[in-house]
Structure 1
Amino acid sequence: MDWKLEVVVVPVADVDRAKLFYGEQVGFVVDHDTRIGDEIRVVQLTPRGSACSIVLGTGVAEGVPGSVKGLQLVVSDIDAARAELVERGVDVSKVQHFDNGVQVEGRGGDWNSFLFFSDPDGNSWTVQECPAGS
């Protein structure tokens, strides 16, 4: 039996602000924005090419806005990913890698080039470059 992770709930303080950030700035696809009565709103967004989505909303998350840390995306070209995020107005780190456990600026070897950014609430993301052919 396969077990597939398909949705991660990301707690946010302002659903409209977060939808704009993830949809317009980060470039996730807005799958739907559904209201279920006055108390529940579900906004699902999916990173391009991903089988896993995030859900923002009211009445769907018990976590504290900004409490999700270390969500990770994988891209084939870290420099292109950074350029796209910068162009879209995301405050993203420079490309970094780890050298003997220390985070330093610049590209690393296979699987060792990263970017970091946070949403307006402080939920944090890592973007990692996947080596060609992996």
Structure 2
Amino acid sequence: MNYTLEVVNVPVADIDVAKAFYKDRMGWPVDHDVAPAPGVRFVQITPPGSGCSIVLGWASGMAPGTLKGLQLVVADIVAAHAELKGRGVPVSDVQVVDGDAAKLEEGGKALDNVGFVFFEDPDGNGWAIQQISARAS
């Protein structure tokens, strides 16, 4: 039996502000923006290349900004960092989580599994981006 994670609810205070951040700043396409009933609206957005979407506005019971530890994976953390900085995303510097700063200077595959950047959306929901350029088989 396969279990695939397809949707994560991200609690936000203002759907329009959050949608603008994820769509315009992050560059993620909007899949749906629907209001199925009066006073009910949700927006589904999927990061490029991801099999899992995020939903803004769906009643999750979580307070806005309380979701921490969402993690994305990219093949090149330095390129992802540059792209997000260029889009105006308040992203951290590239960090090497094992403490070996020489890996940052070396770059490339030296950053696999240990190269990260971090950011928060306008509500304070916390994200990490990790470099994994190839997976073990």
- TM-score w.r.t. structure 2 length? 0.88
1:128 to 115, 127, 130: 130
* Aligned AA (2:27): G
- For residues 1-134 of structure 1, the aligned pairs below 5 Å read 1-57=1-57, 60-99=59-98, 106=104, 109-132=111-134
Which sections of structure 2, spanning at least 5 residues, go unmatched? Answer: none
Structure 2: how far apart are the matches of 1:6 and 1:26?
19
Structure 2: how far apart are the matches of 1:29 and 1:118?
18
Which structure: greater helix fraction? 2
Structure 2: how far apart are the matches of 1:94 and 1:15?
28
Identity %: 53
Taking only aligned residues, the RMSD between alpha carbons, in angstroms, comes to 2.2
* Aligned AA (2:132): C
Which sections of structure 1, spanning at least 5 residues, go unmatched? Answer: none
Residue pair 2:98, 2:114 contacting (<8 A) in 1 also: no
What count of residue pairs does the alignment treat as equivalent? 132
Which structure: greater strand fraction? 1
Shift in alpha-carbon separation, 1:118–1:3, aligned structure 2, 3 A = same
